[in-house]
Amino acid sequence: MTFKLFLHGVPDTPEMWQPLIASLKLDTSQYHAPALPGFGSPLPAGFDCSADTYVDWFQDQIETAAERAGEPIDVIGHDWGAIIAMRASARIPQLVRSWAIAGAVPEPSYKWHRMARLWQTPLIGELVMWLTRPHQIRTMFQNSGLPVALAKAESDAFDDTMKASILKLYRSAKRLNQLANDPVTIHIKDLPAPGLIYWGSDDPYVAVSTAETYARRSGANLIIEPETGHWSIVQQADRLAAALNQYWSTTA
């Protein structure tokens, strides 16, 4: 089986992947799901939490995984993990056999959601983070379809380090089109095609139309799950696992 590399989003940790990994029946030798620095993991010295720095970091993750596997790997990303994974993969397409993303795409036409814009605003972002408590994050996750235990584990990781990392990340990318149109992402056409995009029809942060636009631009297959929100990777883990297995079987 081709080695799988998963990357979570914001404000998440690698725990978010556990329902999908269980549905895929992967053992620990078949995948790696690293934590974004600052998201339940320590920040390396000098790490500035900018989008470019996270892309550099994940490129290293891809290179290491492919070297250990001895072949190109499958990359799966959600939310910010999707954007970072796509940009890193476009730099080294020879090491990526396939890509699958959910919850976000590097689409130039997308405008950041309301909370992202608040985080991007100096002082207001700090105030919002100061007012946001773990129990509020836990409630948000539960209302988004996460099991109680997973919602608690994720909200418990929402500490000062994660808050500061989120603010720096979003402020480094005030206009997503700067990321989507940079020379690296333009070369997305060099990635294995078609990719797979998995989307919840009721995602409150990124509309289905954004996924549809990017699917047309990238040539990816788009699967839209009805009555599913932003965390489709958890809400529909079994259905996504089936879609991924079918997709991977065609990319051999």
| Contact indicator for 217, 185 with CB cutoff of 8 Å | no
Confidence (pLDDT) at 69: 97
| Contact indicator for 159, 11 with CB cutoff of 8 Å | no
Residue 158 lies in a domain: no
169-213 confidence digits (pLDDT tens): 999 987 655 555 554 454 566 677 689 999 999 999 999 999 999
Confidence (pLDDT) at 218: 85
- Torsion region of 96: left, alpha or beta (phi above 0 gives left; psi -120 to 50 gives alpha): beta
Order of strands across the sheet that contains 196-200: 31-32, 4-7, 73-78, 96-102, 196-200, 221-225
The whole-angstrom separation of Cα 6 and Cα 21 is 10
Residue 214 lies in a domain: yes
Range of the domain at 225: 4-111+175-250
Confidence (pLDDT) at 182: 55
132-141 confidence digits (pLDDT tens): 999 999 999 9
Residue 123 lies in a domain: no
Mean per-residue pLDDT, 132-152: 95
210-224 confidence digits (pLDDT tens): 999 989 888 899 999
Residue 155 lies in a domain: no
The whole-angstrom separation of Cα 17 and Cα 24 is 11
185 C-beta neighbours (distance < 10 Å), count: 18
In the predicted model, what is the mean pLDDT of the chain?
A: 92
Residue 159 lies in a domain: no
166 C-beta neighbours (distance < 10 Å), count: 23
Confidence (pLDDT) at 175: 64
53-69 confidence digits (pLDDT tens): 999 999 999 999 999 99
Tally of structural domains, the chain:
1
23-49 confidence digits (pLDDT tens): 999 999 999 999 999 999 999 999 999
110 versus 27: the higher-pLDDT residue is 27
Residue 139 lies in a domain: no
Give percent of the chain with pLDDT exceeding 90: 84
Residue 75 sits at φ, ψ, to 5 deg, of -110, 130
2-12 confidence digits (pLDDT tens): 999 999 999 99
Confidence (pLDDT) at 113: 92
The CATH number of whichever domain residue 242 belongs to comes to 3.40.50.1820
Mean per-residue pLDDT, 98-115: 91
Q: Tokens in use for 81?
A: 């993990």
Residue 119 lies in a domain: no
The burial of 236, by beta-carbon neighbours within 10 Å (0-12 exposed, 13-18 middle, 19 or more buried), is given as buried
Would you say residue 94 has pLDDT above 60?
Answer: yes
Residue 63 lies in a domain: yes
User: Nearest Cα to 104, choosing from 124, 126, 77, 122?
Assistant: 77
